[in-house]
Structure 1
Amino acid sequence: MSTIAYRLETSPATKAERDRRAVRVWLYAVALVLFALVLVGGATRLTESGLSITEWKPIHGVIPPLSAAEWQEEFDLYKRIPQYEQMNRGMDLGGFKTIYWWEWSHRLLARGVGFVFALPLAFFWLTGRLELFLKPRLVGLLCLGGLQGAVGWWMVASGLSERTEVSQYRLATHLTIACIIYAATLWVARGLKPRADFAAAPRNAQRLAVAIVVLALLQIYLGGLVAGLRAGLIYNTWPLMDGALVPSGLFSMEPLWRNVFENVLTVQFVHRCGAYLLLAATLVHAGLLWRAAPATRHARGAVILCLIVIAQAAIGITTLLMVVPLDLALMHQAGGLIVLAATVIHARSLAGSYPAPRGQVVGVAV
């Protein structure tokens, strides 16, 4: 009786799986830098630093002032805008440097994200490590990043001539695009997880999970409006607002649509309602998944997501009651990003991973 031996050969799938792992790690690193960027952007807004640099210098702006004369030149440019005249008149050079470094750090991180994304993308592309379906997704993310840079300057420009702060419309748009890039990066990265690690959930559960992602992004947009109008500095009670569950004066502006974007009372009220809706959606989602398949990975993920949203709501309420101190406000913003990441990772897990790379480890008779 003859003996048959088998030798394992490395198939194309082995290399593809390694490449996927490398791309996944890179995208998670990009998401981490984006997290830091949005957080520093929040600090820049909270410290009223966003208008301290009054010119857009994509290349030369990497280098901060290096001499007393250069610092004075930047300070003189700042003195020309309404924010200095109406809010910071009398500020000394030391105070200007404080707000300048916040904005410079924010812009430096934004440039850094571009390099952290573009250079590895070129490397993976030119060395053949990207599968065909990934290329349009990654190019789309790169284009969104370029658009975001332009939107950032569009936002800053709104506060340089007539206003003492940037437009809340533009601030919320800038924040939301950043979060869309962050969410899309996590979505692609999570989809590259090995297929054997998780299977798809029922379609209804997937749809509700995606709806929760959309609600999280909408809540971040509403939070941008609150920040732009400084709406968190008033009506600092909960659960009542201005002495009522539904305060009067919600639609006192004409036309009515302006109230959702410009009426401070309405903007904060809508943001509160958005939080309640997001929490209710995660509770329903967790309950349905647990009832359909208790103690499964998907059900546990839904419960964890719900707990994260509850924690974020608690931070938001505390921030409001404490009249938006810097540390709590930044914690609330970080919590919003964590909630968004949790919704994206959970929804992507329910959808299953991308199809496995072609090829596999095979046995060959020798």
Structure 2
Amino acid sequence: MSGKRSIFEEVASPEVAAQNTPAKGVIDRGRGGARRGIRIWLMILFALVFIMIAVGGLTRLTDSGLSITEWKPFTGAMPPLTQAHWEEEFAKYQAIDQFRIMNQWMDLSDFKAIYWWEWGHRQLGRVIGLVWAVGFGYFAVRRQVPVGWGKRLWLVGLLGGAQGAIGWWMVASGVTQGEGATSVASYRLATHLGLAFIILGFLTWYILLLGRTERDLMQARRSKEAKLFGLSTGLLHFAFLQILIGALVAGIDAGRSYTDWPMMGGQWFPPNAFPVEPMWRNIFESPGLVQFIHRIAGYLLAAFGVVVWLRGRRSAHRRTRFAFNAVFAALALQIALGIITVLYGAPWQVAILHQGLAVILWVLILRARFLTAYPIQSSIREG
């Protein structure tokens, strides 16, 4: 029979105690994979998609999008290398309506300038596809894809492939002969840009998820601010709608139709807003009406943004409050830049800044929304 023990005496040796101590990070170990490596890979894709949106915007602003009249996903990666090849490409462009109606003044050197913009845009799309395929293949072969992430990473690749097909669907609407089209269909341009923002949105969300451990996310989810999450989701959808309307504006150069503000042609409602028959087509093809809708949607987005910001300021979490302050600042700057774009007749330098800031605003809204779903706890000292 063992003797009496002190209440302060250890009941087991250090070795036994170590064996009975639960291992740390069991949840993360089982679901981790190469989280850091995949996050870096997705960040590279994010940067490439951001550049792609900017290059696409410049391609549109320089009227370069129809300079390549064919879709050759593989052989089209090689640009013309000889004088004969250049003249062949130029002859194809000369056969479409845009050249006959708008650009008969062009010679071969002028054509090369717009050709390189479109070729660069398509080439960047190929680079993005290659980076996705190589990255996904690398992590899949090494079995380093975290549990539950395979479908998510496949989704990014599938959306990227669909984007290439939609890009040609868009270009095909402007590569016409005898139909009088001098640009792509605005609704197809909106579809193309909208999908780019969706891809960027998924990349942003996945990068944010991979930036924290599974244990941290599970714990943070218990403190989810449901009402603020719902409001930020609404703001995200509203901003996306405004981005699509902005693409319609860009598609028909509606930003240059009325250059006064807050009036339009000296009136609150633009004159001659319904010049096209049937009437419903004016939503896509009337410059005055499309710009008016973009302006009204901007005012409503600003008002709703203030509501969400005021609610976000009352969050119990310091970083969440800061995230909504950043959203409000970007939204205010975007509205001011939109007004400047109108007043100066949408010069390409200002217009591309307007589009770039839309991307930043989109990402900031996503980050604020993420923090309402997975708040970061603040210490008492941090407030």
Q: Normalising by the residue count of structure 1, what TM-score does the alignment of the two structures yield?
A: 0.90
SS in 2 for 1:281: helix
**From 309, 314, 322, the counterpart of 1:300:** 322
1:131 equivalent to 2:146? Answer: yes
Corresponding residue number in structure 1 for 2:249: 226
Identity of aligned pairs, percent?
A: 39
Q: CA deviation at 1:349?
A: 2.2
Corresponding residue number in structure 1 for 2:200: 182
**From 337, 351, 364, the counterpart of 1:329:** 351
1:167 equivalent to 2:193? Answer: no
Q: Is the 8 A contact 2:205 2:370 kept in 1?
A: yes
**From 81, 87, 90, the counterpart of 1:75:** 90
Corresponding residue number in structure 2 for 1:343: 365
SS in 1 for 2:211: coil
Deviation string 1:276-335 (CA, Å, 9 cap, x unpaired) is 222222211110122353x72111211110101111111111111111111111111111
Q: Is the 8 A contact 1:282 1:302 kept in 2?
A: no
Corresponding residue number in structure 1 for 2:56: 41
Corresponding residue number in structure 2 for 1:194: 212
Structure 2: gaps spanning 5 or more residues: 1-8, 376-383
Distance 1:89 1:249 in 2: 30
Q: Is the 8 A contact 2:271 2:288 kept in 1?
A: no
Deviation string 1:246-281 (CA, Å, 9 cap, x unpaired) is 345545655543232222111101111222222222
1:117 equivalent to 2:117? Answer: no
Q: Normalising by the residue count of structure 2, what TM-score does the alignment of the two structures yield?
A: 0.86
Corresponding residue number in structure 1 for 2:267: 244
Deviation string 1:96-133 (CA, Å, 9 cap, x unpaired) is 11000000000001111111112111211221222232
1:279 equivalent to 2:302? Answer: yes
1:108 equivalent to 2:118? Answer: no
Using a 3 Å threshold, how does the CA distance of structure 1 residues 63 and 300 change in structure 2: closer, same or farther?
A: same
1:156 equivalent to 2:171? Answer: yes
Corresponding residue number in structure 2 for 1:362: none
Deviation string 1:33-91 (CA, Å, 9 cap, x unpaired) is 00100110110011010010111111111111111111111111111111111111131
Distance 2:30 2:141 in 1: 16
Distance 1:315 1:263 in 2: 23
Distance 2:45 2:368 in 1: 19
Higher mean alpha-carbon deviation, 11-20 vs 150-159, is at: 11-20
**From 28, 35, 39, the counterpart of 2:43:** 28
Distance 2:53 2:251 in 1: 15
Q: Is the 8 A contact 2:156 2:202 kept in 1?
A: yes
Taking only aligned residues, the RMSD between alpha carbons, in angstroms, comes to: 2.2
Runs of 4+ in structure 1 off by over 6 angstroms are: 7-10
Distance 2:41 2:302 in 1: 32
**From 332, 339, 357, the counterpart of 1:317:** 339
SS in 2 for 1:257: helix
Corresponding residue number in structure 2 for 1:364: none
Corresponding residue number in structure 2 for 1:211: 234
Structure 1: gaps spanning 5 or more residues: 354-366
Q: CA deviation at 1:245?
A: 3.1
Higher mean alpha-carbon deviation, 336-345 vs 242-251, is at: 242-251
Deviation string 1:191-212 (CA, Å, 9 cap, x unpaired) is 2221548665311110111111
Distance 1:123 1:173 in 2: 31
Amino acid at match of 1:48: D
Distance 2:344 2:228 in 1: 37
Amino acid at match of 1:190: L
Distance 1:73 1:10 in 2: 66
Q: Is the 8 A contact 1:253 1:259 kept in 2?
A: yes
SS in 2 for 1:291: coil
Amino acid at match of 2:335: A
